[in-house]
Amino acid sequence: MLRDMKSQASRRRVSAQKPYLTFGAPDIGKEEIGAVTSVLRSSWLGTGPKTHDFEHLVGKYTGAQAACALNSATAALHLSLVGLGIGAGDEVITTPLTFCASANAIIHAGATPVFVDVERDSMNIDPTKIEKAITKKTKAILPVHMAGRPCNMEAIKKLARKHKLFVIEDAAHALGASYKGKKIGSLSDATCFSFYVTKNIITGEGGMITTNDKQFADRVRILSLHGMSKDAWKRYSASGYSHYEVVVPGFKYNLTDLASAIGIEQMKKISRFNARRKKIWDIYSKAFKDLPVVLPAPIPADIEHARHLYTLLIDEKTTGLSRDAFMQALHERGVGSGVHFRPVHLHAYYREHFGYKEGDFPHAEYIGERTVSIPFSSALTDREVSRVIKAVREVIEEHHG
């Protein structure tokens, strides 16, 4: 018993010196902790004034006319589609190199996802291949700003105008990114952000739709809370209780004030967070430039990359070990990593339901087999950055003959 306690204590000591590094650690300070505590003390935990303020901050930051807070980006994608009237019989074009939620949400809305391969370098949907995938049923293009790198929005918007399609951006990676001087979030019919625990800013779980269409924003707001015409916060206003009407069978996608309180503090720090990300990005790029791995593609001068993920491509032939073996070797050195992403079309449901198979989207598959995201977060200390570099270099130098 005593020995157990001792060994536990010594393990903790070791782990306190060398905590396991995850690929996307949240950056939480005493401000967030204080903000949550004060919401708990206020006794209004649900959607209310904090959520309203959080929406205002994200709206202002992105330059969008309206912002609707939701409890995830998945909910944001779903409600964007539903709110724009996309459903059964419709097709939505998206990328296979994304988190499953982008495509699942299309299915939730009753529509069919249609994949278009990515560009090898940018890892984003290839606009030159979109037109071939457009049919009479196509209603929207849903690009994903992979790793925080904005898609070619000019080309995508031009196609959308020509074919009268909506553009719904999955910007789960891209808060802080901009395209030709305009912040992601201000460019299209709907842009969906995520505040999941690994993203650039976090609320635990959370998401947001930004838009320039105020009527669409009103629809989203109603859909996000059961389809009720007035939310609870406004029903219990100074003027007394007022009844609500259910105008549509909506969903339960609202964000709580408890979560929004964290988001408000995170938004106050976003410039600092993204500057820190840029610094670590540059340190990694310099430290790895002589290694037999592929680093993120250079960033063109006319975009601001949100630098959400730092990815390496590990090719067994050139690097000397497989991506999965690389991840395991990092793990053994206390360094976590992630895969963003195994392409959606190769997951069981998509193969079985839509008949997708290997070879359908060669670039997405090439990346999906080789990509690895190493620890990358504004919360990383200089020492931790050095630990990651040391681990990556050691593993590769050991295997590369």
Ligand X SMILES: *Cc1c(COP(=O)(O)O)cnc(C)c1O
Which residue type does 222 have?
A: I
Going by their DSSP bridges, the two strands 190-194 and 207-211 should be labelled as antiparallel
Task: Determine if 23 is a binding residue for ligand X (CB under 6 A).
Answer: no
Of the pair 189, 205, the CB lying nearest ligand X is at: 205
**Segment contacting ligand X (CB under 6 A): 18-26, 95-103, 156-164, 264-272?**
95-103
Other beta carbons within 10 angstroms of residue 292's beta carbon come to 15
Binding mask 306-345 for ligand X (x = CB under 6 A): ----------------------------------------
Q: What's the min distance (Å) between Cβ of 105 and ligand X?
A: 8
173 binds ligand X (CB under 6 A): yes
192: phi then psi, degrees, rounded to nearest 5: -110, 120
Least Å distance, CB 76 to ligand X, is 7
Q: Which bin fits 161, alpha (ψ -120 to 50), beta or left (φ > 0)? A: alpha
Binding footprint of ligand X, residue count (CB under 6 A): 14
Catalytically annotated residues: 199
**Spatial contact of 191 and 172, defined as CB atoms under 8 Å apart:** no
Q: Does 194 bind ligand X (CB under 6 A)?
A: yes
211 binds ligand X (CB under 6 A): no
Residue closer to ligand X by CB (options 35, 101) is 101
We find the least distance from the C-beta atom of residue 12 to ligand X, in angstroms, to be 30
Q: Does 98 bind ligand X (CB under 6 A)?
A: yes
Our CA angle for 368, 201, 189, nearest 5°, is 75
CB atoms within 10 A of CB 305: 23
Give the HSE-up count for residue 350: Cα atoms under 13 Å, Cβ half-sphere.
Answer: 22
Q: How far apart are CA 345 and CA 358, in angstroms?
A: 9
How many CA atoms are closer than 13 Å to the CA of 285, on its beta-carbon side? 14
Burial class (CB in 10 A: 0-12, 13-18, 19+), 242: exposed
Stretch that binds ligand X, among 61-69, 79-87, 167-175, 260-268 (CB under 6 A): 167-175
Q: How far is the CB of 277 from ligand X (least distance, A)?
A: 16
First to last CA, the chain: 48
- Any contact of residue 170 with ligand X (CB under 6 A)? yes
Choose which of 51, 72, 178, 191 interacts with ligand X (CB under 6 A): 72
Q: How far is the CB of 396 from ligand X (least distance, A)?
A: 26
Residue 193 CB, shortest distance to ligand X, in Å, is 8
Question: Which of 51, 74, 94, 211: binder of ligand X (CB under 6 A)?
Answer: 74
> At which residue do the structure tokens 């990092």 appear?
330
* Contacts of ligand X in 364-393 (CB under 6 A): none
Pick from 29, 46, 133, 49: nearest CA to 345: 133
163 vs 93: CA distance, rounded Å: 13
Which span sits near ligand X by CB under 6 A: 118-126, 169-177, 287-295, 319-327? Answer: 169-177
Residues that bind ligand X in the complex, under the rule CB under 6 A: 72-74, 98-99, 101-102, 144, 170, 172-173, 194, 196, 207
